Amino acid sequence: MAVVKLIVPTTLRNYTGRNSELSLTGNTVLDVFKALAEQYPDTKNIIFDANEKPMVFINVFIGTTNIKQINCFDTVLKDGDTLTLIPAIAGGAITESVISKEREKENKLDNDEILRYSRHLLLREVGVKGQKKLKSAKVLIAGLGGLGAPLAQYLAAAGVGTIGLVDFDKVDTTNLQRQVIHGTRDVNRPKVASAKDSIRAINPKVKVEVFNEMLTSDNVLDILSGWDIVADATDNYVARYLINDACSILGIPDVFGAMYQFEGQVSVFYAKYGPCYRCVYPAPPPAGLVPTCSQGGVLGVLAGIIGSFQANEVIKLIVGGGESLIGKILSIDAWNNRYQVFDVAKDKECHICGERADIKNIEEIDYQELCGLKVEEEEPILAIEAIELKKRLDSGEEINLIDVREPHEQAIVQFPGAKYIPIGQLARRQEELNPNVDTIFICKEGKRSILAIKTLKEAGYKGACYNLKDGLNTWARDVDKSFPQY
Ligand SMILES: [Zn+2]
């Protein structure tokens, strides 16, 4: 039996007693995951599906090699191997420029531009040719949040000729901790308008096109076509699959960035030359399993690090040369200074870019359903409004009030009278609930509480469960204005 080290990503650490590294034994990768499930029973439902098969949204690496390229879960291990789990969070070939010679020659640099871009012109790898390519290039940035901010700023400063901005959201106070393209005065403005002003201030020579709308399967091909590169700086799985599929169909590279708490990933999904996002993650994790930044938090500076890595990939694709992240995923753990590049391969069976790709028409795919966001009609989750919860608490009626937020969120604000049970422990601690009275679940936004109810019902709990609709944010809005929001 080999003794191996398993590196656990932040998103799954709640299920491994917060441990980031585990020592496990087994002859094969499958043995090690069985040992993991035995030691930490909460991981079982995350790693294995109902048929005891490992889930497709998890990628496992031995060193930097994906087990899919060896013998998958039957791969034999040796002492001292390091296994890394890379779940979906929402190459190496020399990069060829996406800008043709003809387009490079369409542009000249005037004296102002020669001065402005002088530090690029002094680099042999960029030079006048590269700078003219940047001027000809059209780059669309999807999402003007934490990742989109440094992307837009550096691409504008670098002299990318045309920058497109897609976002439907408005600037919120909680964005300002990391979305450095927006300022305090921009709160409540559309993000695309605020970002456009910032780009103009950095470099008035850049043309900016804005799309103040949400990407959907009806508009994604229209919005994405005509661009040389799309940078995916979004924060949700629906947008990521939409952008990947549209880029694959349109034949343009998708420069991908994602982050959560202290960890981030960067890759270039360019189906012509390497794998696409679907090749690596054929399906997203079950809805609610991997929390978003608005639930789990994110280190502000990580957005700058990951977004800047994306800008670097965009610039190499335009200028040509260097080593790109096509066929590779760069994984960064900023808190522990772990930086690794993993190889990822094209999946011949991929539905969008494989040999028998069967997705021809994006409009026909229900991306909400793919990402598990459709409410299952057979088992609706009952909801309760904040005002009703207040009335019931005031009446002195006996209820089970369960807070499923993290301990550090409870340090920000506690909900009076609520009992804390982490979602991972609900199944085995269900005896602590009185099934003869209603159980009301609370969390920050009312999403993790839905996952908690589903988990408990799957574990066979028969009592009535209610979800505090939209979470404690509505308590602050409708019941107690002094209750802090975060
Ligand atoms: Zn693919």
- Report the CATH number that the domain containing residue 428 is assigned in CATH: 3.40.250.10
**Catalytic position from the list 247, 279, 443, 465:** 443
Distance 339 CA to ligand 1 centre (A): 25
Taking residues 365-374, report their average pLDDT: 79
Distance 384 CA to ligand 1 centre (A): 42
Distance 354 CA to ligand 1 centre (A): 6
pLDDT at position 434: 92
Does 317 fall in a domain?
yes
247 with 347, same domain: the answer is yes
- Report the CATH number that the domain containing residue 299 is assigned in CATH: 3.40.50.720
Find out whether 73 and 28 touch, Cβ atoms under 8 Å.
yes
- Residue 164 — pLDDT band, cuts 50, 70, 90? very high
pLDDT at 295 over 60: yes
Does 107 fall in a domain?
no
Angstrom distance (rounded) from CA 115 to CA 399: 70
CB < 8 Å & 24+ apart, contacts of 99-106: 99/133, 99/136, 99/137, 99/228, 99/318, 99/320, 103/133, 103/136, 104/129, 104/132, 104/133, 104/136, 105/132, 106/136
Last residue of a domain, one of 337, 370, 403: 370
Q: Tokens at residue 293, please? A: 């930044």
Query: Which residues, 6 or more positions from 94, have their beta carbon under 8 angstroms from its beta carbon?
Result: 321, 322, 323
pLDDT at position 407: 85
Does 106 fall in a domain?
no
Does 97 fall in a domain?
no
Let me know how long the chain is.
486
Distance 441 CA to ligand 1 centre (A): 39
Q: Which helix (H) or strand (E) holds 229?
A: strand 229-232
- Residue 361 — pLDDT band, cuts 50, 70, 90? confident
* C-alpha distances out from residue 411 to 78, 406, 408, 484, Å: 43, 9, 5, 12
pLDDT at position 43: 84
How far does Cα 374 stand from its chain's mean position?
19
- Of the ranges 11-25, 28-42, 250-264, 451-465, the best mean pLDDT one: 250-264
Does 125 fall in a domain?
no
Tens digits of per-residue pLDDT, 43-61? Answer: 887 788 878 787 777 788 9
283 with 391, same domain: the answer is no
Distance 278 CA to ligand 1 centre (A): 5
Distance 282 CA to ligand 1 centre (A): 8
User: To the nearest whole percent, how much of the chain has pLDDT over 90?
Assistant: 66
Angstrom distance (rounded) from CA 227 to CA 64: 33
Distance 348 CA to ligand 1 centre (A): 8
Tens digits of per-residue pLDDT, 316-347? Answer: 999 998 889 999 999 999 999 999 999 898 99
For residue 245, give its domain range. 137-370
pLDDT at position 376: 52
203 with 272, same domain: the answer is yes
Higher-confidence residue of 57 and 135: namely 135
Distance 372 CA to ligand 1 centre (A): 20
Q: Is 293 a catalytic residue?
A: yes
356 with 455, same domain: the answer is no
Indicate the DSSP class of residue 72. Answer: G
199 with 285, same domain: the answer is yes
- Residue 371 — pLDDT band, cuts 50, 70, 90? confident
Domain count, the chain: 3
Taking residues 64-69, report their average pLDDT: 86
358 with 426, same domain: the answer is no
Find out whether 311 and 134 touch, Cβ atoms under 8 Å.
no
78 with 186, same domain: the answer is no
Distance 96 CA to ligand 1 centre (A): 20
How far does Cα 399 stand from its chain's mean position?
36
Mean pLDDT, rounded, of the chain: 91
Distance 357 CA to ligand 1 centre (A): 9
29 with 161, same domain: the answer is no
pLDDT at 377 over 60: no
**Catalytic position from the list 293, 350, 371, 465:** 293
pLDDT at position 263: 94
